[in-house]
Amino acid sequence: MDQDVAVVGCSAAGITAANVLARKGLKVGVFDAAERLEPEARTLIVTSKLRELPFPLDRSAIVNKIVGFEIHADGRMATIPFHKPDLVIDRTRLIRKLAEHAERNGVRFHFGRRFLDCRGNGKELEFSVSAGKKEGSREIRTRVLVGADGASSRVARSAGWPAQRLAYLTQAVVGLPEGVPWNMTRIWFIPEDTRYFYWLIPESKERGVVGLIGEDRESSRRALEGFLEKKGFDPVNFQEAWVPVYKGWIPVHRRVGVGHVFLVGDAAGHVKVSTVGGVVTGLQGALGVAEAILNNGESRRLRALRLELKLHQLVRFLLHRFAQEDYVRLLGHLNPQVKGILGAMPRDEALSLLFGLFCRRPDLLIFVLKVLMRRGR
């Protein structure tokens, strides 16, 4: 059970990091508390940027392609067509396919092994996992430990990282009413319900998911149920998760004794706080951590990701100060030129998006500054 690298958590980011390291010849094990690989079902939407990442994306994980999105605010609507389609991803299929590729490259998966704690013993890094009622716990030695165990990471807590601030994602699987386009995403800005937005992501011609981000489970679920009733959506079931709210860069590396502990994915807070989406950024962070492990801590990917997440934090800072009337006025600025910029730039490239918008349309920058002045600091 001794490992060069031990990854805790069967997340997409954790398996991706394990896969990269195993392909470089390291002995890598992935440990997860579940008795088998059964990722929680959740429909996710990502930009075409996902195709540019150097990891295997199986076609079976892509359940739909989105050609644009509609923005709704107080009865007004604007449509943004994409130059490249967004992808709707089935999280369960994505993780299973990533695990298959990782196993073929030599990664060993150990299920029914809940992480307990880690410590340095002067020579190496040790961590404990549960091993069943009869066996108790088991000690495992490794040079590098990677925490990929979600927003409330036990690895992070054991190695001394502070707890992250969390938000609650809840979405309902619904049948698509007649007339609702199956290849368009819809977004509703209703600040009195949520500081983020409601969304509709079609999974197919027959069904999709409607959801929002809230502060806690009870108020989020209550707001979503009210929205579904108002819009005439009939929920089939619900998908829920706690997600980190990015408040600044979390160092992804700590020393524990002579060993090294890294964090990836939600455990590291690699989530765009503008949309609270973390698939592409989580995978970018996983590739960056693998790069750092192989290159004595150096990673250009992590430096680029840090800047990207900071820019998304700026966008969310601005949007948190928008009232309903500000979103309505914003829709008035969405002329064909602005729509062309928004449709051409992936949401995962905040620097290019903001630069393109404010350079070509300085009136948008003036509008945002007026909102900030009117709403106060």
Tens of pLDDT, residues 313-368: 999 999 999 999 999 999 999 999 999 989 988 888 888 888 888 888 898 889 88
Same domain, 7 and 102: yes
Same domain, 218 and 109: no
pLDDT at 51: 83
Tens of pLDDT, residues 22-33: 999 999 999 999
Same domain, 114 and 7: yes
Q: At 67, is the secondary structure helix, strand, or coil?
A: strand
Same domain, 29 and 60: no
CATH for 251: 3.50.50.60
Is residue 229 domain-resident? yes
Which whole number is the average pLDDT over 81-106? 94
pLDDT band at 234 (very low <50, low <70, confident <90, very high): very high
The number of domains in the chain is 3
Same domain, 335 and 199: no
What average pLDDT is seen over the chain? 92
Same domain, 188 and 319: no
Same domain, 85 and 232: yes
Q: Check pLDDT > 70 for residue 173.
A: yes
Is residue 370 domain-resident? yes
Is residue 33 domain-resident? yes
Which whole number is the average pLDDT over 90-106? 94
d(Cα 86, Cα 129) in Å, to the nearest integer?
Answer: 39
Task: Indicate if the alpha-carbon torsion angle 349, 311, 254, 7 is positive or negative.
Answer: negative
Same domain, 52 and 145: no
Q: Considering the chain, what percentage of its residues have pLDDT values greater than 90?
A: 75
Is residue 307 domain-resident? no
Amino acid at 117: D
Same domain, 59 and 84: yes
Same domain, 357 and 236: no
Question: Among the three residues 198, 216, 244, which one is the final residue of a domain in this structure?
Answer: 244
Phi, psi angle pair for 131, to nearest 5°: -135, 30
Single out the residue of 2, 76, 85 nearest to residue 346, CA to CA.
Answer: 85
d(Cα 91, Cα 284) in Å, to the nearest integer?
Answer: 17
Same domain, 27 and 100: yes
pLDDT at 95: 94
Question: Among the three residues 195, 210, 244, which one is the final residue of a domain in this structure?
Answer: 244
Q: Check pLDDT > 80 for residue 134.
A: no
Same domain, 109 and 253: yes
Count the neighbouring beta carbons within 10 Å of the beta carbon of residue 188: 21
Which whole number is the average pLDDT over 214-224? 93
pTM, rounded to two decimals? 0.93
The first and second tokens of residue 374, run together, are 């009117």
The first and second tokens of residue 96, run together, are 């299973």
CATH for 232: 3.30.9.30
pLDDT at 2: 80
Domain holding 348, by residue range, is 315-375
